[in-house]
Amino acid sequence: MSIKSSQTLIKEALSEVKTITPKEALEMVNSNQCNLIDIRDGLELEREGRVENSHHVSRGLLEFSIHPESPYVQKENLDLNKELVLFCAAGGRSALAAKTLKEMGFKKVSHIDGGFNLMKNSGFKIV
């Protein structure tokens, strides 16, 4: 039996998903071209803060929450025609999550290289 490591899964995901820089993500946010989705868990948000105008969906609930018919999409008024830009703390979970959303059928999906760790020093307002 061959079990893949998390590093192998992330490497495979990175070969399949679009990766953008924090600067590119900030430009997309400022021009209202995307939904910025924070997939970190609640404790991370409490400890480190959250990015202004981002939507929080913890990684464990992503597939349930981002489906077009989910109450979350309706409540948050997410425009699923816009790109879904995911981020986590450093970029591993968001790469895996972006791959999952592509598998669900979403076409406009990307993740931010370096995640929140790089975003907080790249012009994003942390609240």
Residue 32, domain CATH: 3.40.250.10
| Total of domains in the chain | 1
Q: What is the largest CA-CA distance in the chain?
A: 48
Strand spans (E) along 9-107:
18-20, 34-38, 55-56, 83-87
**Domain-embedded: residue 127:** no
**Domain-embedded: residue 92:** yes
**What was the pLDDT predicted at 110?**
98
**Domain-embedded: residue 124:** no
Q: Which amino acid, residue 87? A: F
Enclosing domain of residue 35: 6-119
**What was the pLDDT predicted at 103?**
97
Task: Spell out the residues 6+ positions from residue 10 whose beta carbon is closer than 8 angstroms to its own.
Answer: 92, 95, 96
Q: What is the pTM of this model?
A: 0.95
Crossing angle of helices 92-104 and 6-16, in 10° steps, is 60
Mean pLDDT (10-residue bins), the chain, 127 residues: 94 97 97 97 96 96 95 93 97 98 97 97 95
**Domain-embedded: residue 125:** no
